[in-house]
Structure 1
Amino acid sequence: MAISRNANTAKGRFSPPLSVLVFVLLHGKGHHQNLLAKGGASPAVVDWRIQGIWCSGSAEEGRGGPAGFRSESRRGYHPARKARGRRRRRGQGAVVLRHAACHYVALNSDGRCFSWGRNEKGQLGHGDTLLRNLPTVVSKLSKYNIIAAGVGRNHTVVVTDEGESFAFGDNKHGQLGMGSLRSGFTLQELRCQPVPSLVTKATNAICGANFNVWLSSVEGSSILTTGLPQYGQLGHGSDNEYIANVSSVRLAYDPQPNPRAIVALSGKTVVKVACGTNHTVAVDSSGFVYTSGFGGYGRLGHNEQKDEWQPRPVEIFQKNNILSPSDIISAGSASSACTASRGQLYMWGKLNNWGDECMYPKPVRDLSGWNIRCMASGSMHHIVCAHDSCISWGLSEYGEFGYGPT
């Protein structure tokens, strides 16, 4: 998942197994900002200086953080502008989510890492498996300056300012990137507290449901992946399928615990990545877009539903619509999106649950002319920060839009 670093207003809610959307709006000056969460009719403020927030979850299991959330089921068939709050300066907006997770991670301007929500796999990094209803600092990371983080279904990965990476939580598929499923640690240590990943000079970490992607400054290895290879989302040319039980012909997928550079992109410098539940979207320094993984509903943008086991260029963004450094990318549970052509938003995949899927990138005309700074998508709902507004559309069953009681 690609993340913007500043944040201080979060609203949203979901209930598994539905995908989640949590969005963050910024206001205030410099880094002296607070995290604002809407609970009921009045806001609740946590006195932090927040830089970023990575999250998803339902208030019923502690994932609402500082405040609970009310919700109404409603649909927004077209992008709708949310009520404007205090005006935010350019560059101070963020939209973040995790499609399958039930926990949150937040970073403040001092590089401290906070987490809360579900914790049965130790994904909060506190040395236990106790649920946390409130943001709690990850003490094992206190001596590090954390600059980036990602959350998967049951795991968390962080990156320090010195390029180190630490991970905690479920490692069933090797998604922690430690080189093995146990890596010499006891089960309790493995599940409950940060352990180093085998990645050097990391600059960012982005998580899918059960896999992980790192960006690195190492030449020729700018993108590395690890975890579940089932749909080819790791980009290594195989899904590593094998027959686990001959008598029942049960298929399984060999875990990939060693972070490996994607050979197909070794001659390119990958600068941006977004992860869906089981697919990956990457952009190189030339502005070309590549997708890999699960191809259902056309979420890879190739006008077909075939899985891609290694990154395949998205044709429309190889000619006149290459991405600029300021353009953004996003991946939902069953969709993908990016801006190109002077900020025009393009989307593809299953965009809502009442219409046909979009098999290749199409422009969202309703948002033409808007300066879109960041975006995130859940299952069938989407949200962007554009100009000084927060705009959302799709299906909202659990208050994902943040419109408040209706």
Structure 2
Amino acid sequence: MTPEKRPAEDEEEQESKKLKEDPPPAVALETSESSVLQDETSQDSIASDSASSSDPEKKRLPVPEERGTVVFTGCTQWEYIGRRNLNNIPSMSHYVPKIMSFFKGIRVAYVAGHCTAAHSVIITEEGKAFTLGRNEKGQLGVGDSENRTGIVAVDSLSDFAIVAAAVGRNHTLFLTDRGTVFGCGDNKSGQCGTGNTVAVINIPCRINFKESRIQKVACGAEFSMIVDKKGYLYSFGLPEYGQLGHNTDGKFFITSNKLAYQHERSPRRVPIFVERSKDGHPTPVTDVQIVDVACGASHSVAIDAKKRAFSWGFGGYGRLGHAEPKDELIPRLIKFFDGHNRGVTKIYCGSTYTIGVSQMGPFLWGQTKRTGEANMYPKPLQDLCGWDIRSVGCSTTSIVVAADESVISWGPSPTYGELGLGENVKSSTQPKEVKSLEGSHVHQVACSMGHTLMIVRDETERDKEILSKLKEMTV
């Protein structure tokens, strides 16, 4: 079975030819002296990308147009989140949304988080990247793995306009307006895509990819996804449950009783998408042009230009939406959304669940609680039906939704303030409106473990009035 090939435009053919003529990006070698080599790799990568600065303006990716004030809720005691061997410091837990004093007077265009990550990325309207959170594997991209209590600038990328980012459990990807991607953090499974498995990359290095310009990035716990301008999907990192979509879980035995994985160290194209009949027979799906992708801890979901949804990877708790808990090693069409006026327009992933916004409304499948029943196939989110959902943030079990002029959140205990519901309502199994943001227009939400970032519109007098009532915080 081979994927259907779409005709390339003349511009794309010329661009591809130009990219192939360029020398491949420098990458760090696997050696104990990795820290020095990472620095050299980063500098080589930056020089290579800067050489393309003469590209026409029209080819650059734009920083998101919707800007606003960044608001934080949750815990800033990074080493405490998700762990049991430390005591909570009350002053570092914020149970209601607060304005970050660091960004006072600075408008933000993009925020990135992940359900398995205790760190996040904030991108300003000028395309400057800032990170905050846990830094045990160098995922903040500041040149070391030391603990950072505050917000830090990713200075090594100061020469680039960053338009988007994605974070995994301990790694980070940055997308530039040139369509190139830089990765840093934990790389023992090749999830930074630099062509090697150097354990830790402290400074963002350019990924080993020259085929085309990249338009989307996404991260799972220990793997990553990119989408290029042609709509082709590429993956790299840990293949343990088939989440890379290459028809393998990558397992092999080093010895008779020692198991290992064949990691993908560089982006590798996902070549085929299938649908399965009732008897399980796979049939290729043609003309798949991916427009968006999201990743949970160990599963992936993508939607194409025809609003078809595909899922693959770990199938436990029904998070793939195929009405069975089986792992899928190849992207499989979610039949529930296949049909007239049933297409999916937005997709979001939590650790063990998936949320899709379709033409029929919002649906959830998988498990959002640590116990109890799971949705083996998409079921409507009745409390959100009829709302205009703009953005959804998915944490381990917490969910935060920006819809209409409200923010709605819910999630079972334990929580760390990421729901923003206040000291007296730290958790909720039912969707509740965040009272302090009532009437606000939130452009984007991003959840990580234990904290939530929101971009709140700040243009009208009503917007400014709502923001003026929020307290400020220093991280």
TM-score, L = length of structure 2 = 0.66
2:222 counterpart of 1:210: yes
2:143 counterpart of 1:127: yes
Match of 1:181 among 197, 222, 228: 197
Q: Offset of 1:360 from its aligned partner?
A: 0.3
**Counterpart contact for 2:67–2:107, Cα < 8 Å:** no
Q: Offset of 1:321 from its aligned partner?
A: 4.7
Counterpart residue type for residue 52 of structure 1: Y
**Counterpart contact for 1:38–1:44, Cα < 8 Å:** no
Between the aligned partners of 1:118 and 1:263, the Cα distance in structure 2 is: 35
Between the aligned partners of 1:244 and 1:128, the Cα distance in structure 2 is: 32
2:92 counterpart of 1:9: no
1:242 partner SS: strand
Q: Offset of 1:43 from its aligned partner?
A: 4.9
Between the aligned partners of 2:307 and 2:164, the Cα distance in structure 1 is: 22
Matching of residues 113-262 of structure 1 within 5 Å: 113-182=129-198, 191-199=201-209, 200-217=212-229, 219=230, 222-246=232-256, 249-262=257-270
Counterpart residue type for residue 387 of structure 2: W
Over 3 Å counting, the alpha-carbon distance change for 1:17 and 1:284 in structure 2 is same
Counterpart residue type for residue 141 of structure 1: L
CA RMSD, 1 decimal: 2.3
Matching of residues 45-64 of structure 1 within 5 Å: 45=101, 46-47=103-104, 48-55=106-113
Between the aligned partners of 1:43 and 1:224, the Cα distance in structure 2 is: 37
Between the aligned partners of 1:227 and 1:41, the Cα distance in structure 2 is: 35
Between the aligned partners of 2:375 and 2:255, the Cα distance in structure 1 is: 38
CA deviations 1:53-95 (Å, max 9, x no partner) are 123xxxxxxxxxxxxxxxxxxxxxxxxxxxxxxxxxxxxxxxx
**Counterpart contact for 2:96–2:421, Cα < 8 Å:** no
129-138 or 3-12: bigger deviation: 3-12
2:422 counterpart of 1:404: yes
1:341 — aligned with what?
359
Between the aligned partners of 1:371 and 1:142, the Cα distance in structure 2 is: 36
2:224 partner SS: strand
1:366 partner SS: helix
2:288 — aligned with what?
268
146-155 or 313-322: bigger deviation: 313-322
**Counterpart contact for 1:333–1:379, Cα < 8 Å:** yes
Q: Offset of 1:216 from its aligned partner?
A: 0.7
Between the aligned partners of 2:304 and 2:377, the Cα distance in structure 1 is: 20
Between the aligned partners of 1:306 and 1:377, the Cα distance in structure 2 is: 23
1:307 — aligned with what?
327
Q: Offset of 1:103 from its aligned partner?
A: 1.5
CA deviations 1:277-313 (Å, max 9, x no partner) are 0000100000000000000000000010000001000
Name structure 2 gaps, 5 residues minimum. Answer: 1-62, 84-92, 274-285, 425-475
Between the aligned partners of 1:268 and 1:224, the Cα distance in structure 2 is: 13
CA deviations 1:342-379 (Å, max 9, x no partner) are 4x111000122353100000111121111111112222
Counterpart residue type for residue 51 of structure 1: A
**Counterpart contact for 2:168–2:221, Cα < 8 Å:** yes
Between the aligned partners of 1:322 and 1:151, the Cα distance in structure 2 is: 30
Counterpart residue type for residue 150 of structure 1: A
**Counterpart contact for 1:215–1:270, Cα < 8 Å:** yes
Match of 2:125 among 100, 103, 109: 109
TM-score, L = length of structure 1 = 0.77
CA deviations 1:130-166 (Å, max 9, x no partner) are 2222211111100000001011111111110111111
1:194 partner SS: strand
Over 3 Å counting, the alpha-carbon distance change for 1:376 and 1:116 in structure 2 is closer
**Counterpart contact for 1:116–1:131, Cα < 8 Å:** no
Over 3 Å counting, the alpha-carbon distance change for 1:43 and 1:162 in structure 2 is closer
Counterpart residue type for residue 403 of structure 1: L
1:133 partner SS: coil
Over 3 Å counting, the alpha-carbon distance change for 1:313 and 1:321 in structure 2 is farther
1:73 — aligned with what?
none
2:249 partner SS: coil
Q: Offset of 1:11 from its aligned partner?
A: 1.4
Counterpart residue type for residue 135 of structure 2: N
Q: Offset of 1:180 from its aligned partner?
A: 2.0
Between the aligned partners of 1:154 and 1:351, the Cα distance in structure 2 is: 22
Between the aligned partners of 2:82 and 2:324, the Cα distance in structure 1 is: 26
**Counterpart contact for 2:172–2:185, Cα < 8 Å:** yes
Over 3 Å counting, the alpha-carbon distance change for 1:43 and 1:404 in structure 2 is farther
Over 3 Å counting, the alpha-carbon distance change for 1:359 and 1:6 in structure 2 is farther
Tell me how many residue pairs correspond in the alignment: 331
Counterpart residue type for residue 255 of structure 1: H
Q: Offset of 1:322 from its aligned partner?
A: 3.4
**Counterpart contact for 2:215–2:228, Cα < 8 Å:** yes
Match of 2:379 among 362, 374, 381: 362
Match of 2:409 among 378, 392, 397: 392
Identity of aligned residues (%): 36
**Counterpart contact for 1:17–1:100, Cα < 8 Å:** no
